[in-house]
Amino acid sequence: MTATPPLFQFDNSYARDLPGFYVAWEGAKVPQPELVLFNRPLAEELGIDPAGLETADGAAIFAGVKQPGGASPLAQVYAGHQFGGFSPQLGDGRALLLGEVIDTHGRRRDIQLKGSGPTPFSRGGDGKAVIGPVLREYIIGEAMYALGIPTTRAMAAVTTGEMIYREGPKPGAVLARVAASHLRVGTFQYFAARGETDKVRLLADYAISRHDPDLAEDPDRFLRFFRRVTERQAALMARWVLVGFVHGVMNTDNTTISGETIDYGPCAFIDTYDPQAVFSSIDHGGRYAFARQPQIAQWNLARLAEALLALIEPEDMDKAVDLAGTELARFPELYNGHWLEGMRAKLGLETDAEGDLEFFQALLTAMAEQGVDYTLFFRALGAAAEGAPEKACAFFADPAAFDPWLAAWHERLEAEGTATDRIRTSMDAVNPIYIPRNHKVEEALSAAETGDYTAARQLLNVLKTPFTENPDFEAYAQPAPASFGTYQTFCGT
């Protein structure tokens, strides 16, 4: 591969500190890399000159064809429970960690290429990606970022000039992804399953130094590290549920140590409120349904706990189990705390009250029974706080299911005594009007397959400001038309 000027100031700690945790590798040759989307603000945040990447050389770098100076491209190894079944070796089958940079805020960030070709972990696959799934991850990840949810982000999407077969020929593409790290529960599982405790310890110490450096000298650092990961995942799950996001494939290899959302494959946002919503074409049993996500997160964390037991209390496994179990048992309380706090904010409430859980669930039950649009209802409820409940009420064909709840909510607001304009402002600040509506995402992806990225760019522009109403964006706030039908997504990147 041809070296290029050092556009990136790499400091590749994973490659340097964790030999045996990866395979050094290079991207596949492709005929014609072309940059189709580029995230200039993110590049600037990473301390990278955007002008140096909006070039043919930049496209070649993002496609994996050219190696920038200082890069150490590698495929990470990990294991994972996939839909409950353990796969002892997975790894980056179509991705390369290009390297790490320290961003302008002093944070270490990974830069990874997805779809850059086969690796030793491809398990017979071609290691490639196509434009639709690449743009899905780009769009949904940027939407999550704008919503304030911890997430990996896309820096670039490139096409490769080749056609890849996926239910027919599709334009090949590569995504350049940025993450706090790509450490997963499955990374720990890989070495724990092999009884390689020394490597589990090395990995845990590396993760602590990277994500929880204040624990580095703590004699109980491994237990406290598990506590931190649990806390981060509980907060993340609450944020997903509060905005109506369904990840779709919450395997342990898709569960990060950092608490970021990762791997936007069969993901979607709900339109009507439905706790059982499933969008993945392969989740036949609803394992990763919308309302089950917190439960699955706790299950995934139990697998991390198992991998760390030999470090938590090396001389007393029973004690290690008890200690880890105590931390794990906190998850429902942690999650509920974050979710209740978030629901109060969505409803304009400033104080907690006994019975809040039941009060909120009563509203959600009524919404589920009448197929109420989740995003639009909460946005409309802000006007109801100012004495204009018509829009919110109109979502319920049978008002008898909503009117008593609405009256009780007004009583709560009156008891708190907050000015109505302040309530409306606070609600609008947390209840988005624009989310990546599934039909709009599909419109953008379908157009991109023909080489037209106008819809994708416009959708990204709308999603940058999800809480600010813009009359020019009215079409992006509407639910899918009835003709859109049942929505399914697929694992593509």
What mean pLDDT is predicted for residues 63-73?
A: 95
pLDDT confidence of residue 493? 47
How far apart, in whole angstroms, are the C-alpha atoms of residue 460 and residue 493?
Answer: 19
Task: Tell how strand 129-130 and strand 74-76 pair up.
Answer: unpaired
Is the distance from CB of 310 to CB of 320 less than 8 angstroms? yes
pLDDT band, very low/low/confident/very high, at 121 (cuts 50, 70, 90): very high
Is the distance from CB of 275 to CB of 372 less than 8 angstroms? no
pLDDT confidence of residue 395? 96
15 backbone φψ class: left, alpha, beta (φ>0; ψ -120 to 50): alpha
Q: Which two tokens stand for residue 379?
A: 């946005």
How far apart, in whole angstroms, are the C-alpha atoms of residue 249 and residue 84?
Answer: 11
pLDDT confidence of residue 166? 86
Quick check: 141 pLDDT over 90?
A: yes
% of the chain with per-residue pLDDT over 70: 98
Is the distance from CB of 68 to CB of 26 less than 8 angstroms? no
In tens, the pLDDT along 355-405 reads: 999 999 999 999 999 999 999 999 999 999 999 999 999 999 998 889 999
128 backbone φψ class: left, alpha, beta (φ>0; ψ -120 to 50): beta
CA nearest to 103, candidates 46, 44, 153? 46
Q: What is the mean pLDDT of the chain?
A: 95
Quick check: 4 pLDDT over 60?
A: no
In tens, the pLDDT along 162-197 reads: 999 988 899 999 999 999 999 999 999 999 999 999
pLDDT confidence of residue 490? 64
Identify the DSSP state of 10. Answer: B
Quick check: 2 pLDDT over 90?
A: no
Quick check: 5 pLDDT over 70?
A: no
In tens, the pLDDT along 408-450 reads: 999 999 999 999 999 999 999 999 999 999 999 999 999 999 9
How far apart, in whole angstroms, are the C-alpha atoms of residue 385 and residue 346?
Answer: 12
pLDDT confidence of residue 492? 55
Would you please indicate which residues are annotated as catalytic (active-site) residues? 253
How far apart, in whole angstroms, are the C-alpha atoms of residue 187 and residue 14?
Answer: 13
pLDDT confidence of residue 304? 98
pLDDT band, very low/low/confident/very high, at 281 (cuts 50, 70, 90): confident
